[in-house]
Amino acid sequence: MTDFAQLQIIKNGHVTSPKGFKAGGTHCGLRRKKVDFGWLYSEVPATVAGVYTQNAFQAAPLHVTKESIAVEDKLQMVVVNSANANACTGEIGMANAYETRKLVAERIGVSEHLVAVASTGVIGVQLPMEKLTKGIEQIDLDQSVTADFEQAILTTDTVTKYVAVEVEIEGKVITLGGACKGSGMIHPNMATMLAYITTDANVEAESLQTALKTATNETFNMITVDGDCSTNDTVLAFANGMNMQTELTTDHPEWHKFQDAFTLISQLLAKKIAKDGEGATKLVEVNVKQAESTDSARKIAKAIIGSNLVKTAIYGADPNWGRVICAVGYSNQPIDPSKVTVYLGDIKVVENGLPADFSEEEGKEYLMSENVSVTVELKMGDGEATAWGCDLTYDYVKINASYRT
Amino acid sequence: MTDFAQLQIIKNGHVTSPKGFKAGGTHCGLRRKKVDFGWLYSEVPATVAGVYTQNAFQAAPLHVTKESIAVEDKLQMVVVNSANANACTGEIGMANAYETRKLVAERIGVSEHLVAVASTGVIGVQLPMEKLTKGIEQIDLDQSVTADFEQAILTTDTVTKYVAVEVEIEGKVITLGGACKGSGMIHPNMATMLAYITTDANVEAESLQTALKTATNETFNMITVDGDCSTNDTVLAFANGMNMQTELTTDHPEWHKFQDAFTLISQLLAKKIAKDGEGATKLVEVNVKQAESTDSARKIAKAIIGSNLVKTAIYGADPNWGRVICAVGYSNQPIDPSKVTVYLGDIKVVENGLPADFSEEEGKEYLMSENVSVTVELKMGDGEATAWGCDLTYDYVKINASYRT
């Protein structure tokens, strides 16, 4: 299990808190006014790991990014545009992604394979390359304004999302930072958003991929807003080694500290996405305990956090635990109904499959909090998992009934 | 494939249109004013088939009903109460379901095993047996008021749902009727609601079960409102043989006519449920064609019809086909993105994975209809499926944020 106690969250830490990272953003005209084109840069080529959406319609920039990384598992730059996903755009879309990469490489004077590209926004519209070119021409590596990058990557998000932590390895303090976007189209089991995690540690490529996969399974893959999975979503991790000589691998005696820091960064970012879910008023955390296995616990947690009926009940502060039980029941996992116990926060509402004696008023009051937790104990084994999501509100419908207008 | 052309839908037909069926309902006090206790009766013991929710928390009445049917595959009576699901009610709940069955059997003078019981409503509250007993005492088989039965079984439904069709077999006209309830907690792959299908044909038990399973897979299991599956849902089919001597089996040369009539009844009821989905303003039909297999087509159709983003786009009359493509992409089925074509009604919006040239205005206007169809062609094989659902609206949130208050 992860142990976050020895980690230090940096107050007002950003994706550029680790040594040698810079970021910026500009308005190139994809949106009316908002900053819409961002870049994240490492002063030296950084070792890179990535996870990508499992959607069969992977957007053009993902292909180009993977191609870049395949060359030597290193990147120095990623550029991101919002407002347009460059997905379902065929050969022209691919050509535009390649062109973007080429122009960026030229602009900053690095090899093309050290550049990754990302897009997020509406599907099926070609990138307006004139505008994008204008954005690329405005990249100035001497003008790092991280807040602009964090703003540029947003779509329907209402806040920028960033975090950084410190961890001591071999007596040396290294830093990890992160930034992400994601508000709709968020669902487990996918690389479900754009997220960028940076560190000034020196991490061997395969080990970095392990850290990312491990963290993603426990964090980004455990959040859901609406059950939909995007064509574009990507998590990239960059380790530039600028603050540490030794190369970290999974065999290193202090590897677990690095993994914990990585998982914490991922969890904090994932929770920010869940809390900023489209129309959300509450962050919901679902804990499943004593499941037959970790996998089973995850599936049950996801069934609960993904239930529209649970989500609307929480929105309405209705302690209607029947909907939680119902989601457990259709998760298709090994359970014994007569052993299931459910808590809303600390309030026991179901004990061994039967209604517990609790005050409806107290339950209602608890569900009015901004942070709500639901805990389910199954007495089937020692599998555990946590999932995060949000309530389903009028505003979710409003945002998505008029996304493009 | 089903051929509905030779079938005659009976104008204003009901679950009691087949010969020898009666139904009624009364107000026993589970709800404030609405009729809340209903009964459906066959003058002679009818051969019965059933499908039940796959939720692990099956409610008490399902156990008792299955026990009744297990004795000789026959029933003469089913009683249904709304407002209370008798689910997660433990041994007391089971005792109450048995007691209900016993009292009903005594009241109408038949063996207990010819009586089935059903409940729908809130989970985790014990049935108030005094009230139920009052309802049972009001059963009067000489006073058949079918509309009261169809009303009594409703929960958040806004309309009663009923239909009847005629089909000629061996030169004789037989009738099939049906009634159902269902509005929330509707999802594919479950016996997803309460539905009762009746016929005055004489059908062998195993063949009736085949007819029910076949129809359910194509109809009740292909509708979704919100992805949640209830603890109580049940479809029962009754064949009392009062209008036909020959026993129908799957080997009968005209069996396909009976199966078609059964499937049509099921489809018409299923569509009524989808259209009356909580908060729905539109009936949405998704057709998937040229999939690798029927199973694959069904999964893709369900992914589309179940997508909150597709549902909100249709609510907002936004021809945002990217969300349809996206759902196809995460359905985890064999597809080739460059072969996917999508229509909204007759308007081609995607051709071979790329945006088609269509008028947004025309698309928007089409999506304002009360009945909306989405068709996806995959060019992978000859698998076909249709799914039904509805849009996701403010009212869905409203209804479910305050269901119990």
pLDDT tens string A116-164: 999 998 888 999 999 999 999 999 999 999 999 999 999 888 899 999 9
Give the pairing type, strands B283-291 and B341-344: unpaired
- Which residue among B90, B307, B355 places its CB closest to the CB of A353? B90
Average pLDDT over residues B207-232: 84
Enumerate the residues of chain B whose CB falls inside 8 A of the CB of residue A329: 55-57, 229, 231
Of B184, B167, B258, whose CA–CA distance to B223 is shortest? Answer: B184
Q: What is the pLDDT confidence band of residue B78, given thresholds at 50, 70 and 90?
A: very high
pLDDT score recorded for residue A398:
83
pLDDT score recorded for residue B238:
98
The alpha carbon of residue B232 is apart from the nearest alpha carbon of chain A, in Å, by 10
> Which residue in the list A192, A198, A224, A234 is annotated as catalytic?
A192
Average pLDDT over residues B372-378: 98
| pLDDT of residue B307 exceeding 60 | yes
pLDDT score recorded for residue A222:
87
pLDDT score recorded for residue B185:
47
pLDDT higher for B312 or A184? B312
Radius of gyration of chain B (CA): 22
The alpha carbon of residue A216 is apart from the nearest alpha carbon of chain B, in Å, by 18
Q: What is the pLDDT confidence band of residue B96, given thresholds at 50, 70 and 90?
A: very high
Could A307 and B190 be called an inter-chain contact, meaning their C-beta atoms sit closer than 8 Å? no
The alpha carbon of residue A371 is apart from the nearest alpha carbon of chain B, in Å, by 17
Average pLDDT over residues B146-168: 94
- Which residue among A57, A315, A354 places its CB closest to the CB of B397? A315
- To the question of whether residue B375 is assigned a binding role by annotation, the answer is no
The alpha carbon of residue B354 is apart from the nearest alpha carbon of chain A, in Å, by 6
Average pLDDT over residues B307-317: 90
Look up residue A53 and give its amino acid: T
Could B401 and A315 be called an inter-chain contact, meaning their C-beta atoms sit closer than 8 Å? yes
pLDDT score recorded for residue B292:
97
- Which residue among A229, A230, A327 places its CB closest to the CB of B228? A327
Per-residue pLDDT tens for A316-357?
A: 999 989 889 988 988 889 999 999 999 999 999 999 999 999
Coil, strand or helix: which one is B121? Answer: coil
Domain spanning B283-401: CATH superfamily: ArgJ beta chain, C-terminal domain (3.10.20.340)
The alpha carbon of residue A121 is apart from the nearest alpha carbon of chain B, in Å, by 10
Tell me the C-alpha distance between A28 and A365, whole Å: 47
The secondary element (H helix, E strand) that includes residue A284 is strand A283-291
ipTM of the complex, rounded to two decimals: 0.78
Could A329 and B55 be called an inter-chain contact, meaning their C-beta atoms sit closer than 8 Å? yes
The alpha carbon of residue B345 is apart from the nearest alpha carbon of chain A, in Å, by 19
The alpha carbon of residue B368 is apart from the nearest alpha carbon of chain A, in Å, by 12
Per-residue pLDDT tens for B264-296?
A: 999 999 999 988 887 889 999 999 999 999 999
- To the question of whether residue B199 is assigned a binding role by annotation, the answer is no
> Active site includes B192?
yes
- Domain positions in chain B are 8-275, 283-401
Provide CB contacts within 8 A for B106, sequence distance 6+.
none
Average pLDDT over residues B365-380: 96
Enumerate the β-bridge partners of residue B48.
Answer: B238
Enumerate the residues of chain B whose CB falls inside 8 A of the CB of residue A404: 318, 320
Phi, psi of A134 (to 5 degrees): -60, -45
Lowest mean pLDDT among A75-84, A365-374, B395-404: B395-404
- To the question of whether residue B320 is assigned a binding role by annotation, the answer is no
Nearest C-alpha in B relative to A303: B228
Provide CB contacts within 8 A for B142, sequence distance 6+.
none
pLDDT score recorded for residue B326:
86
- Which residue among B318, B335, B355 places its CB closest to the CB of A402? B318
Quick one: what percent of chain B has pLDDT higher than 90?
76
Could A320 and B404 be called an inter-chain contact, meaning their C-beta atoms sit closer than 8 Å? yes
- Is the Cβ–Cβ distance between A14 and A145 less than 8 Å? no
Tell me the average pLDDT of chain B: 91
pLDDT score recorded for residue A2:
64
Q: What is the pLDDT confidence band of residue B405, given thresholds at 50, 70 and 90?
A: very low
**A-B C-beta contacts closer than 8 Å:** 202
Those of residues 342-371 in A touching chain B at CB distance below 8 A are 350, 353-355
- Cβ of residue A396 closer than 8 Å to a chain B Cβ: yes
> Which residue in the list B192, B219, B224, B393 is annotated as catalytic?
B192
| pLDDT of residue A230 exceeding 80 | no
DSSP at B9: E
Tell me the average pLDDT of chain A: 91
- Cβ of residue A395 closer than 8 Å to a chain B Cβ: no
Those of residues 22-81 in A touching chain B at CB distance below 8 A are 54-57
Fold match between A8-273 and A283-401?
no
Phi, psi of B50 (to 5 degrees): -145, 150
Enumerate the residues of chain A whose CB falls inside 8 A of the CB of residue B309: 184-185, 226, 228, 400
- Cβ of residue A1 closer than 8 Å to a chain B Cβ: no
Those of residues 126-185 in B touching chain A at CB distance below 8 A are 184-185
Give the pairing type, strands A37-52 and A74-81: antiparallel
Could A322 and B230 be called an inter-chain contact, meaning their C-beta atoms sit closer than 8 Å? no
| pLDDT of residue A61 exceeding 60 | yes
| pLDDT of residue B400 exceeding 90 | no
Those of residues 93-112 in B touching chain A at CB distance below 8 A are none
pLDDT higher for A274 or A206? A206
DSSP at A10: P
pLDDT score recorded for residue A189:
32
pLDDT score recorded for residue B229:
61
- Which residue among A88, A227, A315 places its CB closest to the CB of B325? A88
Could A320 and B227 be called an inter-chain contact, meaning their C-beta atoms sit closer than 8 Å? no
Lowest mean pLDDT among A169-178, A368-377, B121-130: B121-130
CATH of domain A8-273: 3.60.70.12
For Cα atoms B155, B400, A355, give the angle at the middle one, nearest 5 degrees.
Answer: 80
pLDDT score recorded for residue B184:
56
Could A322 and B88 be called an inter-chain contact, meaning their C-beta atoms sit closer than 8 Å? yes
pLDDT score recorded for residue A324:
92
pLDDT score recorded for residue B1:
52
A 10 A CB-CB count for A401 gives: 20
pLDDT score recorded for residue A13:
97
Q: Which of A94, A155, A302, A312 to mutate: most B Cβ within 10 Å?
A: A312
Average pLDDT over residues A234-246: 94
The alpha carbon of residue A273 is apart from the nearest alpha carbon of chain B, in Å, by 17
Those of residues 236-295 in B touching chain A at CB distance below 8 A are none
pLDDT higher for A156 or A166? A166
CATH, domain B8-275, list 3.60.21.10, 3.40.470.10, 3.40.50.150, 3.60.70.12 = 3.60.70.12
| pLDDT of residue B189 exceeding 60 | no
Nearest C-alpha in A relative to B187: A330
Lowest mean pLDDT among A81-90, A204-213, B54-63, B229-238: B229-238
Q: Which of B224, B400, B405 to mutate: most A Cβ within 10 Å?
A: B400
Enumerate the residues of chain B whose CB falls inside 8 A of the CB of residue A309: 184-185, 226, 228, 400
pLDDT score recorded for residue B394:
86
Lowest mean pLDDT among A8-17, B22-31, B177-186: B177-186
Phi, psi of B327 (to 5 degrees): -65, -40
**How many residues in chain A?**
405
| pLDDT of residue A359 exceeding 50 | yes
- Which residue among B321, B392, B404 places its CB closest to the CB of A397? B392
Tell me the C-alpha distance between A39 and A357, whole Å: 55
Could B187 and A330 be called an inter-chain contact, meaning their C-beta atoms sit closer than 8 Å? yes
- Is the Cβ–Cβ distance between A19 and A180 less than 8 Å? no
Those of residues 184-203 in B touching chain A at CB distance below 8 A are 184-185, 187, 190
Nearest C-alpha in B relative to A335: B56
For A167-219, the DSSP string reads EEETTEEEEEEEEEE-SSS--TTS--SEEEEEESS-B-HHHHHHHHHHHHHHT
Q: Which of B54, B123, B311 to mutate: most A Cβ within 10 Å?
A: B123
Quick one: what percent of chain B has pLDDT higher than 70?
95
